[in-house]
Chain A
Amino acid sequence: MSLFNVFNVSGSALNAETVRLNTTASNLANAETVNGDATKIYRARHPVFQSLMDTSDPFAESEGASSGVRVLGIVESTVPPLQRYAPENPLANKDGYVFASNVNPIEEMTNMISANRAFATNVDVINTARDLLLKTISMGH
């Protein structure tokens, strides 16, 4: 596997972390939404990552090194929503209750920091690989 493959691997990780940041943004934006129907509330979404083997590389099996990461899917949180008595809310059901989304802002913030760090690390990796490649190209000069 060549040094160039690092760009594919780390690039896929950047993509996956971007999806994670996107879901976090979506979750935080909808954290305060309510609905009169408990089945129609906004549920916190989280991506599930899976390691990705590069099957186009015939040496992938023997060297086992060329695998990036991809987003396998997005799962919705099953935490039960909070019920709140708010009869003045136009969305309230006939008993005067609204159901809040089950987003946990603290969880989302820590998730965001983690995604941020992972993103920065992968950018670092790409920059390092690029520097090394450029130095290798100029070998002997």
Chain B
Amino acid sequence: MFDNLFGIHEQALLLHGQRLGVLATNLANADTPNYKARDIDFSAVLAGTDDGAPLPLQVTQEGHINLQSGSTPAVDLKYRNPYQAALDGNTVEMPVEQAAFAENNVRYQASLTFINMRIADMQLAIAGQ
């Protein structure tokens, strides 16, 4: 029961954390010549973490390493298609990055809220009141 206590939100939180780093890098390099903006294809990564994902490796002996436990989903960074690239080869577009950053921020907090509510539920169940 507790294996999947937080559902998708455990993975989503990790992913949003990673995406925050990627977007922060884009914003930090907004004036770097030849820097290409990158992003995580969120739905593609998350699609690989649900029940349809490849089955976990079977652990039949003590020495086997359980690859599934606590591992973050494999992240595939992709280059962003700029609306209008700068002359110096930089493809960071401030409004696009800021919008993505704000969206990611809200999604991170949403996942966090879901996890917190789940914890509160469990505490209620344990206390039995």
Chain A interface (Cβ within 8 Å of chain B)?
1-3, 5-6, 9-10, 12-13, 16-17, 20, 48-51, 63-69, 114-115, 117-118, 121-122, 125, 128-129, 132, 135-136, 139-140
CB distance from A13 to the nearest CB of B (A): 3
Size category of the B interface is 20 to 34
Chain B interface (Cβ within 8 Å of chain A)?
13, 17-18, 20-25, 27-33, 35, 38, 75, 77, 94, 98, 101, 105, 108-109, 112, 115-116, 119-120, 123
Count, A-B residue pairs, CB within 8 A: 97
Interface of B is mostly: helix
Say whether B29 contacts A67, CB under 8 Å: yes
Say whether B116 contacts A132, CB under 8 Å: no
- 30 A-B pairs, CB-CB below 8 angstroms? A1-B21, A2-B21, A3-B20, A9-B21, A9-B25, A9-B28, A13-B27, A13-B29, A50-B32, A50-B33, A63-B77, A64-B38, A65-B18, A65-B21, A66-B25, A67-B25, A69-B31, A69-B32, A118-B30, A118-B31, A125-B28, A132-B17, A132-B105, A132-B109, A132-B112, A136-B13, A136-B112, A139-B115, A139-B119, A140-B123
Say whether B119 contacts A3, CB under 8 Å: no
Interface of A is mostly: helix
Say whether A135 contacts B112, CB under 8 Å: yes
Contacts of A136 in B (CB 8 A): 13, 112
